């Protein structure tokens, strides 16, 4: 009877917790998303721009404002450091709208610095970091010295801290404007459609179980029933946390800060629920020992498991 009640409460708690992402967070509620971009196989000088969709043609007022912004960006003392926009913004961007209605994100949607040229990889491909909440749907654009234009396919940004590679092997600046050029790859799939999601989940589950069952042994618990309870509770809680965190990204406007807050809320949920459940169900030790075990086990597994998972997962997808 007690077990049934506890499981019912736990599952109800989990259901309510999974509803949190639907509340969401506004896009300006915390630190912005970032986009890490690598441009491969380019052997000519270019200017990099992000294009976003605008339904209506550019108005005279927009063009005038864009020209003022361009002049401000191009002032000699405006930039410090190694920002991409230390190069002059091409004038043609103030009036440019491509065949699908995409315009300059810098001039028409943002007054902030976007690009940091962050170095080169082992193959001398140029890498960028794009800051200040890049748009979720956009195109990449290269502008040559004589205003030759290369534009990528439409990119649907699928997650925060997003990685994109734009491979332009064999592409030249022979034509005035080229659309849907190059090959764009990255983490564009929904997380439940990626094998790396499941590798990450099962690895984290394995690490969590190894740590928490090991600590259970160190606390002096020896009965099989205790280990079975800890095993089931961890499988449920880790599944709830993983599913909830992934969905929080999609239902909270893909804001990095909201996902972090949701993860923190998830850990609070796991800490409190497991401490209560262990306090009720584990019978070998006094209640305060059971509760302390729940706290210590979760604290250690959270720190070690998260670090290990991030390291392995980062290497796997990097």
State whether 262 and 295 are in the same domain: yes
Q: Domain ends where: 169, 188, 207?
A: 188
Within 13 Å, how many C-alpha atoms sit on residue 177's CB side?
7
| Among 10-14, 47-51, 107-111, the least confident range | 10-14
State whether 158 and 201 are in the same domain: no
Does 317 score more than 50 pLDDT? no
Give percent of the chain above pLDDT 70: 63
Region of residue 186 (phi > 0: left; psi between -120 and 50: alpha; otherwise: beta): left
- Name residues whose C-beta falls within 8 Å of residue 54's C-beta, 6 or more positions apart in sequence: 97, 101, 102, 103, 108
Residue 13's pLDDT band, with cuts at 50, 70 and 90, is low
Residue 49 near residue 105 (C-beta atoms within 8 A): yes
State whether 245 and 304 are in the same domain: yes
Residue 46 near residue 144 (C-beta atoms within 8 A): yes
Residue 21 near residue 115 (C-beta atoms within 8 A): no
Helices (H), the chain: 2-18, 60-73, 105-109, 195-218, 224-251, 256-281, 287-317
Does 267 score more than 90 pLDDT? no
**Could you say which DSSP state residue 86 is in?**
G
Residue 114's pLDDT band, with cuts at 50, 70 and 90, is low
The C-alpha atoms of residue 243 and residue 143 are separated, in whole angstroms, by 41
- Averaging pLDDT over each range in 3-7, 66-70, 309-313, which range is the top one? 66-70
The per-type count for the chain, helices as H runs and strands as E runs, is 7, 11
Does 83 score more than 50 pLDDT? no
- Name residues whose C-beta falls within 8 Å of residue 206's C-beta, 6 or more positions apart in sequence: none
User: Roughly how many angstroms between the first and final C-alpha of the chain, as a whole number?
Assistant: 49
Q: Domain ends where: 188, 211, 229?
A: 188
User: Average pLDDT of 160-175?
Assistant: 79
The C-alpha atoms of residue 163 and residue 177 are separated, in whole angstroms, by 26
Number of structural domains found in the chain: 2
State whether 153 and 50 are in the same domain: yes
- Name residues whose C-beta falls within 8 Å of residue 316's C-beta, 6 or more positions apart in sequence: 196, 199, 200
State whether 184 and 210 are in the same domain: no
User: Average pLDDT of 14-39?
Assistant: 51
Q: Domain ends where: 147, 169, 188?
A: 188
State whether 181 and 237 are in the same domain: no
State whether 90 and 43 are in the same domain: yes
pLDDT at res. 247: 63
Does 189 score more than 80 pLDDT? no
pLDDT at res. 99: 94
Mean pLDDT (the chain, rounded)? 75
pLDDT at res. 19: 52
State whether 208 and 236 are in the same domain: yes
pLDDT at res. 231: 92
| Among 1-5, 94-98, 168-172, the least confident range | 1-5
State whether 109 and 250 are in the same domain: no
Residues 191-224: tens digit of each pLDDT: 666 676 777 778 778 888 888 999 999 999 999 9
State whether 121 and 225 are in the same domain: no
The C-alpha atoms of residue 132 and residue 250 are separated, in whole angstroms, by 19
Residues 51-61: tens digit of each pLDDT: 999 999 999 99
Element (H, E) at 122: none
State whether 55 and 164 are in the same domain: yes
Tokens at 200, concatenated: 């990450």
pLDDT at res. 28: 29
State whether 165 and 46 are in the same domain: yes
Residue 50 near residue 146 (C-beta atoms within 8 A): no
Residue 173 near residue 45 (C-beta atoms within 8 A): no
Residue 104's pLDDT band, with cuts at 50, 70 and 90, is very high
pLDDT at res. 133: 59
Q: Which of 241, 245, 271 is nearest to 256 (CA)?
A: 245
Does 264 score more than 60 pLDDT? yes
Residue 293 near residue 216 (C-beta atoms within 8 A): yes
Residue 87's pLDDT band, with cuts at 50, 70 and 90, is low
The C-alpha atoms of residue 77 and residue 170 are separated, in whole angstroms, by 37
Residues 116-152: tens digit of each pLDDT: 666 666 666 777 777 655 677 889 999 988 889 999 9
Domain, as residue range, for 299:
2-28+192-317
The C-alpha atoms of residue 238 and residue 207 are separated, in whole angstroms, by 11
């Amino acid at each position: 009877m007690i077990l049934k009640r506890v499981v019912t409460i736990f599952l109800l708690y989990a259901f309510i917790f999974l509803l949190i992402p639907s509340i969401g967070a506004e896009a300006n509620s915390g630190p912005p998303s970032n986009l890490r971009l690598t441009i491969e196989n380019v052997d000519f000088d270019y200017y990099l721009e992000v294009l976003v969709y605008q339904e209506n043609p550019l108005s005279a007022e927009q063009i005038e404002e864009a020209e003022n912004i361009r002049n401000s960006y191009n002032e000699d003392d405006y930039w410090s450091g190694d920002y991409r926009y230390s190069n002059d913004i091409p004038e043609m961007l103030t009036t440019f709208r491509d065949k699908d209605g995409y315009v300059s994100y810098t001039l028409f949607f943002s007054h902030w610095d976007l690009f940091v040229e962050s170095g080169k990889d082992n193959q001398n491909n140029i890498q960028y970091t794009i800051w200040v909440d890049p748009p979720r749907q956009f195109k990449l654009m290269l502008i040559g010295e004589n205003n030759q234009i290369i534009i990528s396919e439409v990119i649907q940004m699928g997650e925060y801290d997003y990685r994109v590679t734009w491979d332009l092997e064999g592409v030249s600046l022979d034509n005035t404007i080229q659309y849907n050029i190059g090959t764009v790859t990255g983490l564009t799939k929904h997380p439940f459609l990626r094998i790396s999601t499941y590798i990450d989940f099962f690895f984290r589950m394995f690490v969590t179980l190894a740590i928490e069952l090991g600590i259970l042994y160190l606390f002096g618990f020896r009965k099989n029933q205790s280990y079975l309870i800890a095993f089931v509770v961890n499988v449920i809680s880790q599944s709830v946390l993983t599913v909830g965190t992934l969905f929080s990204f999609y239902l909270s406007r893909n804001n990095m800060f909201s996902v972090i807050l949701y993860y923190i809320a998830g850990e609070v949920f796991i800490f409190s629920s497991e401490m209560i459940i262990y306090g009720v169900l584990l019978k070998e030790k006094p209640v305060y020992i059971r509760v302390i075990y729940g706290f210590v086990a979760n604290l250690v597994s959270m720190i070690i498991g998260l670090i290990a998972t991030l390291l392995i997962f980062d290497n796997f997808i990097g």
